[in-house]
Every structure is written in structure tokens, then in C-alpha cells.
Amino acid sequence: SDMEFAGLSTVGTLAVMSPGAITDGTDGDLAVTGNATFTAGGDITLGNDAGNDTNFGTLTLTTPGTATVSEDSDMEFSGLSAVLALAVTSTGTITDGADGDLAVTNNASFTAGGDITLGDDAGNDSNFGSLTLNTPGTATVSEDSNMVFSGVSIVGVLDVASPGNIT
């Protein structure tokens, strides 16, 4: 069944598995100082309501559906995040850290108040069906396959790399 967080949940690390969707509802606040891992059989939707206060030390997402996460601080992916589609928003920076791997079958949309840095470490494996970037800062993305931009991307400075085509 689906899982919905309600009220304030404050923990050091968090690992959540649900055969259905995972959401934090209209009043679910999540404060995880370490890694937060969400594995769902349905969609993952966190921090999308105006009343949500959502902060993770690092983040790992797995779903055959769409993962939509809005964080009220810097966002750092850790471990393998594998999703059908991804839409993430951060008031700060978005990065995949030294060990963050991102596998997004369809569109991956990143919106940040600060810089976006993905795939820049030797150990990173980053692959997106298509990519949308929005930041007033610098967006640095190194993809391990062809890079396809989709939708409207607005960035201050764009620095991208791909072993294949960039379209």
C-alpha cells in the first residue's frame, strides 16, 4: 500500500520501502541528517507542498515511476538512484557527490537556487533519457551516454560533456 509521512520526522538515517507510492502529504516534514533512501513501487513525491519542510543529508531514490522531490537545502544524491522520470528542486545546490549514480529512463529535471553539478567525479555513472536544467548559477553535467535536452533550460553558465551526441 502507499506510505504517507505526517507531522515532523527527524532521524539520522532513513530507509523507506513501500509497494505503493511514498509521499509526505500536506503536513509531512522530513529532517534526515544522513542518507535518506526511498524505494517505492509507485511514485515518490516529497516536499512538494508549501507547508513541507524537507531536508536530507544525502538522497537515494528507486522507483519504476516518477520521483518528485523538493528540498529546502542543498541536495546531494548518494548511491544508485534509478527512476523512470525525475523532477527535483533545491533552494541550494544539486550534486551527485563522489558516489552518486543517476539512471533516469525519461526526463530528468533539475531546478536549483545554486549550482547544479552532476557526473563530475570519476566514479559517477550518469544517464538521462533527456535533461532539463534551471539555475541562476552554473550547471555542470557530464553524462555517460548521449545528452538530449528537453523543454526549457535556463542557466547562468552551462558546462556539459558527453561521449556521444549533445542535442
Task: Read off the pLDDT of residues 15-39 as tens digits, 9 standing for 90 and up.
Answer: 999 999 999 989 999 999 999 999 9
C-alpha 97/C-alpha 58 separation (Å) is 9
Cell of 131: 535533461
Sign of CA dihedral 18, 22, 24, 29: positive
What pLDDT sits at residue 51?
Answer: 84
Mean pLDDT across the chain: 96
Q: 164: pLDDT confidence band, cut at 50, 70 and 90?
A: very high
- What mean pLDDT comes out for the span 111-124? 95
- pTM for the whole structure: 0.97
- What mean pLDDT comes out for the span 78-105? 97
User: Which of left, alpha, beta for 44 (phi over 0: left; psi -120 to 50: alpha)?
Assistant: beta
CA distances to 11, 54, 59, 115 from 5, rounded to whole Å, are 13, 11, 17, 29
Q: Given the C-alpha cell 530507509, which residue does it identify? A: 15
Q: Given the C-alpha cell 529532517, which residue does it identify? A: 31
What pLDDT sits at residue 54?
Answer: 96
What pLDDT sits at residue 123?
Answer: 86
C-alpha 28/C-alpha 16 separation (Å) is 15
C-alpha 93/C-alpha 39 separation (Å) is 23
- What mean pLDDT comes out for the span 53-57? 96
DSSP label at residue 77 = B
